[in-house]
Amino acid sequence: MDYKKILEDIYLEIRPYEKMGKQADYIPALAKVNPDQFGMCLESVSGEVYPFMQSDTRFSIQSITKVFALALVLSLKGEDLWKRVGKEPSGTAFNSLVQLEVERGIPRNPFINAGAIVLTDILLTELKDPDNEFITFVRALCGSDSVNYNMEVAVSEREKGYLNAAIANMLKYHGTIENDIEDVLMFYFKMCSVEMSCRELAKAFIPFTNISPFYYSGYKLTSSQIKRMNAIMQTCGFYDEAGEFSYLVGLPGKSGVGGGIVAIYPMRYAVAVWSPRLNSRGNSVMGIKALELLTTATQESIF
Amino acid sequence: MDYKKILEDIYLEIRPYEKMGKQADYIPALAKVNPDQFGMCLESVSGEVYPFMQSDTRFSIQSITKVFALALVLSLKGEDLWKRVGKEPSGTAFNSLVQLEVERGIPRNPFINAGAIVLTDILLTELKDPDNEFITFVRALCGSDSVNYNMEVAVSEREKGYLNAAIANMLKYHGTIENDIEDVLMFYFKMCSVEMSCRELAKAFIPFTNISPFYYSGYKLTSSQIKRMNAIMQTCGFYDEAGEFSYLVGLPGKSGVGGGIVAIYPMRYAVAVWSPRLNSRGNSVMGIKALELLTTATQESIF
Amino acid sequence: MDYKKILEDIYLEIRPYEKMGKQADYIPALAKVNPDQFGMCLESVSGEVYPFMQSDTRFSIQSITKVFALALVLSLKGEDLWKRVGKEPSGTAFNSLVQLEVERGIPRNPFINAGAIVLTDILLTELKDPDNEFITFVRALCGSDSVNYNMEVAVSEREKGYLNAAIANMLKYHGTIENDIEDVLMFYFKMCSVEMSCRELAKAFIPFTNISPFYYSGYKLTSSQIKRMNAIMQTCGFYDEAGEFSYLVGLPGKSGVGGGIVAIYPMRYAVAVWSPRLNSRGNSVMGIKALELLTTATQESIF
Amino acid sequence: MDYKKILEDIYLEIRPYEKMGKQADYIPALAKVNPDQFGMCLESVSGEVYPFMQSDTRFSIQSITKVFALALVLSLKGEDLWKRVGKEPSGTAFNSLVQLEVERGIPRNPFINAGAIVLTDILLTELKDPDNEFITFVRALCGSDSVNYNMEVAVSEREKGYLNAAIANMLKYHGTIENDIEDVLMFYFKMCSVEMSCRELAKAFIPFTNISPFYYSGYKLTSSQIKRMNAIMQTCGFYDEAGEFSYLVGLPGKSGVGGGIVAIYPMRYAVAVWSPRLNSRGNSVMGIKALELLTTATQESIF
């Protein structure tokens, strides 16, 4: 498959969308990003890398970090995780409090904010030095030691993070989290603030294609666990647009409000795309379009 | 892959579950079915058939019929369908009215009852002789001319079908359906009353594995359309348990309250399983367990 | 108190509102009413009557009929009624299905549609000849033998009554109503179709001022029961605007989508007002304003 | 009316209920209160006082404080208050977050927690020395200079106040409150921690009977404003039991989770009752029963 050519063709086709949507602007650090950027990188399980345009520009991975957090938690707790979080798609916005109230503090899945806050709480309990161990894990996955938290972003998000603070308080009320609320929120926002490039993200997700044993920075996952993580990405990875993404793209993946999306073709490749302008549901306009065209052109989807 | 042996092994492993759960009993015709039955049949795209136990016993396919209805509607209307139905998982019970009210009459997806009632309405509008054309289509798919509606079941469901009548009235109120409410409900329940065996269901779903052009009884679907139907099954096929099924089994599929489940391994096989005892979410206890063991044993899932 | 002068002054003050709002138009019979009409009538417990403008023009009383139905049911069943209906304000639109689903078929109060449909069901069960007995009761209350159902309105409402049909089906599903759905809906719409003038309504509500023993057409209510009916009117009589009405007017009352409102000053008077133009919450714009000015001018409210 | 005798008779009648219900125990200070206490005090507008049993024992007034806060805010802001809070009954539990999310940060009324938190925010903005001015106002109303905050209770409530913290964060997210979240929560819990006896509460509510001009500690309310406050108490004063209280008792009032209830018979009297054991909706079991018997015995209700 000539992925280089395919990525070039995709770009020509999506250029008409380049001014559509609006970048996230709820914190200054995201608002000041130049919205007119595009990067993409596909890495195959055999190690071929197809970078395209700004594939080495780092951006705020935001919710994509939840996949790393889930991998760590599954490695640490296994199926016990599911006592505190569900695995069903939410049918509501990623930051809804209604579901939490109705279902008495059990988040629907680990990728809505409430669920990721529970993952964060578990990491705080289970890890000795959460800050270091998390970033070490991510660095091991992507092979870049310079990948790091952006503290300006994290602090800024905490300051404006009223809704996530509401969620964390609600979880605490229901006994779903056990650590100090401020500690949980700060670590949550730190994890979200990690900055990576498309090239680094694609490489970091190669282990989730399940081609070989997963063993990074001391953490192990079985082949079955990785499959199940992909299932969660498939059904819950795109907020209230998971069905649409599954329908149009047909690959498990995860998006972030920084404009990044990573998708996985199991046993074959991982692909990351980034463009800051978002649609009304918080997903990158050009990113989703690019991935739709990729699976249409290659006929490579899981279905 | 020695599917014959695998099915036998699976059965040994799931026997401890054989008395768990309770069959549907909201209408007499379903209540009087012997709950202690089990059938399974896997058919590969190359035509090998692996029947097991009561694989030729017909049962009420119930919601599995929604896949046939969706195939017909996609063939007739293409992407226009999505103006009247969403494609996101629902996050609520299959028969909830809350979502309809909040989202002003647009069902979340075609597999919750409200969505399937919209499919029914479209078929009534688009087909000249809906009763005949629908059953002819199903017969063409499974190759059995004796497959038919069970009118006793259909009439009995209509009599007790207050919740579906509530949904249909709500859809009518919002203008989402255009035909007479009674006509829609009666045809809906007729489609649900179709009786098929596991062997027939597995065969009927082979076209949805996407191995070859889809052309049945005059209706065509593109390869892309079939992929997308599978995506819908993956995210919405199991009521409020779609995430769980995706997590445990990792195949697109559809269940029915009669105890049947059909799943698809794209480009490889279709598999049907049937056992009337249901879990609290309306899915066959032994059926789900059997499919979980199948993908664990074969390592054949889409992830 | 010079009510004649007060009513005249009120009218001068509310004339600026005379083109505000829009009459109900969901059925032809209501849509064709001339919206620019206004009538009012206050009747004191000592029998003084203060008619003003079109106080003898009959209009569709619609939901005001629910007060008559509640009086009948309380007389027939007493406190047993509250096993099937609550008495809490609803916090949602009068025709919401969400609450019914969440609270498993128990309507929040007898004045939302679901609650009134339960009243209807009880009347069908308890009365031998519901049609005659209900209208006889209303005639006895207002002293006009020519008051009657408007069958054109009732039939027309049934034809378009999808939402109420959805509610009735939902109630039947939960076992809250026991009669045939069509019978219940038709009788419900008949009761709503009764036509009365402001003069007749004011007179009909005098017994609810609690000045003397209640005994009409064979039905009795205790003083305590009448007080409690007033409490229900106070907290639930104005759909999603009960708090606002209580705040501005400070009297128990009941409104209808035909533009009528009746309010009660216990032990003193009953007052009816009518003007077809409605605000966004389904209550008469000039009607509410007139009553607000009445209690402001007279300082006669229950608080 | 021989209120002394009536209170004695009431007590005999409610003694069978004296072990029903359970006191609030979510903070140690409330949990350690002896639950088997009962006090009541009726004060007429002419200054007659009818104390009964433990009418001089102080207890945590909790949500009753919201009436004082509302009076202060109405005095300071008048009708402008209603831009930030509604006046409709809520139809949900007093601490629900669902409504806030659905109605985008506007609390339904000033007596649910979210609404009272908005009152608190306004007081923080409008008063120069909120702590002193609030308690001075309450002292002026009840004529007891020793009435005060209980800081142990306030601090303890803040520590466990996850749900109110969730609500405050949600309000901040929607821009409904403007002060620092911690400042708002701490002042909110301080106001709730005020301790008063039944005798003091009855006296403090006399001004709300509207018998004479309201002018306390520099704050004024018009007669019309007081009537409207009573209307709010009537429709919203008892959490999810406002309708029931209105139905059984027929007086405007306000309850608190400390077991206190105050009710008002406009132009006649104020009555306070206290007993720590609560029903499932957070209202004093004996308190509600006592007030029901009071209005039954005296036939003095607003209806």
Distance CA B259, CA B20 (A): 13
| Smallest Cα distance from C185 to chain D, Å | 26
C177 phi and psi, to 5 degrees? -120, 155
Contact yes or no for C166 and B163 at CB 8 A: no
What is the predicted pLDDT for the residue at B94? 61
Which residue from D108, D231, D243 is facing C246, i.e. has the nearest CB?
Answer: D231
**Contact at CB, C97 and B102, closer than 8 angstroms:** no
pLDDT, chain B, mean: 95
- One-letter amino acid at D36 equals D
Does this model's pTM top 0.90? My answer is: yes
Q: Sort B140 into a burial class: Cβ within 10 Å, 0-12 / 13-18 / 19+.
A: middle
DSSP 8-state code for residue C148 = B
The residues pairing with C59 across neighbouring beta strands, listed in sequence order, are C196
DSSP A81: G
Which of A91, A241, A302 lies at the smallest CB-CB distance from B90? A91
CA distance B99 to chain A (A): 9
Chain A positions touching D172 (Cβ under 8 A) are: 162
- pLDDT digits 0-9 by tens, B48-77: 999 999 999 999 999 999 999 999 999 999
User: Which of D236, D243, D299 minimises the CB distance to C87?
Assistant: D243
Question: In 10 A of CB C143, how many CB atoms?
Answer: 12
Residues of D in contact with C300 (CB under 8 A): none
Instruction: Report chain C residues whose CB lies below 8 A from the CB of B95.
Output: none
> What pLDDT was estimated at residue A95?
66
Q: Tell me the chain A residues in contact with residue B235 when contact means C-beta distances shorter than 8 Å.
A: 89, 234-235, 242-243, 246
D27 touches D161 (CB < 8 A): no
Give B-chain residues touching C27 at CB under 8 angstroms. Answer: none
pLDDT at D239: 81
- A→B contacts (Cβ < 8 Å), by residue, are 86-92, 99, 108-109, 210, 223-224, 226-228, 230-232, 234-236, 240-244, 246-248, 250, 252, 266, 296, 299, 301-303
Q: CB burial class (10 A; 0-12, 13-18, 19+) of residue D15?
A: exposed
- Which residue of C98, C162, C169 is in closest CB contact with B98? C98
Gap between the Cα atoms of A36 and A19, Å rounded: 7
Q: Quote the pLDDT of residue A31.
A: 95
**A211-215, B95-99, C197-201, D150-154: least confidently modelled range:** B95-99
What pLDDT is recorded for position D14? 97
Residue type, C146: S
Encode chain C (303 residues) as per-residue pLDDT tens digits.
899 999 999 999 999 999 999 999 999 999 999 999 999 999 999 999 999 999 999 999 999 999 999 999 999 999 999 999 999 887 666 667 777 776 788 999 999 999 999 999 999 999 999 999 999 999 999 999 999 999 999 999 999 999 999 999 999 999 999 999 999 999 999 999 999 999 999 999 999 999 999 999 999 999 999 999 999 999 999 988 899 999 999 999 999 999 999 999 999 999 999 999 999 999 999 999 999 999 999 999 999
CB contact under 8 A, A210 and B303: yes
- Taking the CA of residue B31 and the nearest CA in chain A, the distance in Å comes to 30
Q: What is the pLDDT of residues D15-50, one digit of tens each?
A: 999 999 999 999 999 999 999 999 999 999 999 999
Contacts of A32 (CB under 8 A, 6+ apart): none
All residues at 6 or more sequence positions from A138 whose CB lies less than 8 Å from its CB, including other chains: A65, A68, A147, A194, A196, A204
Establish, for the pair of chains B and C, how many residue pairs have beta carbons separated by less than 8 Å: 51
* Local structure of residue C27 (DSSP, 8 states): S
- Helices A285-298/A3-14 angle, 10° precision: 130
Query: Quick check: A167 and D162 CB within 8 A?
Result: no
Across the interface, whether the CB atoms of B169 and C172 are under 8 A apart is answered no
SS3 D51: strand
Q: How confident is the model at residue B133 (pLDDT cuts 50, 70, 90)?
A: very high
C296 chain-D contacts, CB cut-off 8 A: 224
Distance CA D293, CA C85 (A): 24
What phi-psi label fits residue D21: left (phi over 0), alpha (psi between -120 and 50 degrees) or beta? Answer: left
Percent of chain D with pLDDT over 90: 91
CA-based nearest distance D223→chain C, Å:
9
- Comparing CB atoms, the residue among B223, B235, B301 nearest residue A89 is B235
CB-CB under 8 Å, C303 with D228: yes
Contacts with B166 from chain C: Cβ below 8 Å: 97, 165-167, 169-170, 173
Q: C302–D90: do the CB atoms touch at under 8 Å?
A: no
To the nearest whole Å, the CA of B63 is away from the closest chain C CA by 20
Residues near C199 by beta carbon (within 8 Å), at least 6 away in sequence: C41, C43, C49, C51, C55, C56, C272
Domain boundaries, chain A: 3-298
pLDDT interval class at A217 (50, 70, 90): very high
Alpha-carbon gap, residue D151 to D191, rounded angstroms? 10
Taking CB atoms and an 8 Å limit, are C247 and D301 in contact across chains?
A: no
Q: For residue A255, what are the CA distances in angstroms to A52, A122, A278, A282, A300? A: 19, 22, 11, 9, 20
Choosing among D92, D99, D159, D169, which should be mutated to test the A contact, i.e. which has the most A CBs within 10 A?
D169
Cα separation, C145 vs A280, in Å, equals 60
Show residues of chain B in contact with A242, CB under 8 Å: 88-89, 235
Within a 10 A sphere around the Cβ of D159, how many other Cβ atoms? 10
pLDDT band at D240 (very low <50, low <70, confident <90, very high): confident
Distance between CA C176 and CA C106 in Å, rounded? 7
According to DSSP, the β-strands at C39-44 and B269-274 are unpaired
Residue of D nearest to A102 (CA): D98
Q: Do A167 and D163 touch (CB under 8 A)?
A: no
C97:B166 CB<8 A: yes
Chains touching chain D, criterion 3+ CB pairs below 8 Å: A, C
- Pairs of CB atoms within 8 A across C/D: 110
Average pLDDT over residues A45-50: 97
Residue A114 structure tokens: 């409430």
State the SS3 of D19-41. CCCECCCCCHHHHCCCCCCCEEE
Instruction: List the single range of A66-80, B136-150, D78-92 with lowest mean pLDDT.
Output: D78-92
Kindly report the nearest CA distance between residue A4 and chain B, in angstroms. Answer: 23
ipTM value for the complex: 0.92
Instruction: Tell me which residue in D86, D240, D303 faces C231 most closely, judged by beta carbons.
Output: D303
The two beta strands, A49-53 and A39-44, are antiparallel
Chain C residue with Cα closest to D296: C224
> For C91, which residue in chain D has the nearest alpha carbon?
D91
Residue D189 Cα, gap to closest chain C Cα (Å): 26
Q: What stretches of chain C show up as alpha helix (H) in DSSP?
A: 3-14, 28-31, 65-77, 98-102, 113-126, 130-142, 151-160, 162-173, 181-192, 198-205, 223-236, 242-248, 285-298
Q: Which of B90, B159, B160, B163 to mutate to test the interface with C (most CBs of C within 10 A)?
A: B163
Q: Which residues of B fall within a CB distance of 8 Å from A88?
A: 89, 91, 240-244
pLDDT classification of B98: cutoffs 50, 70, 90: confident
> Percentage of residues in chain A with pLDDT exceeding 90?
91
Q: At C50, which amino acid appears?
A: Y
Query: Are D91 and C90 inside 8 Å of each other by CB?
Result: yes
Fold (CATH) for B3-298: Beta-lactamase (3.40.710)
**Residues of chain C found within 8 Å of residue B103, distances taken between Cβ atoms:** none
How many CB atoms are closer than 10 A to CB A86?
21
Cβ within 8 Å, pair B173-C162? yes
Q: Give the distance from residue A210's alpha carbon to the nearest chain D alpha carbon, in angstroms.
A: 40
Residues of chain B contacting residue A247, judged by C-beta atoms under 8 Å apart: 87, 228, 231-232
Q: Are residues B171 and B177 in contact, defined by beta-carbon separation less than 8 angstroms?
A: yes
Chain B positions touching chain C (beta carbons under 8 Å)? 96-98, 100-102, 162-163, 165-167, 169-170, 172-173, 181
Query: A252: which chain B residues are within 8 Å (Cβ-Cβ)?
Result: 303
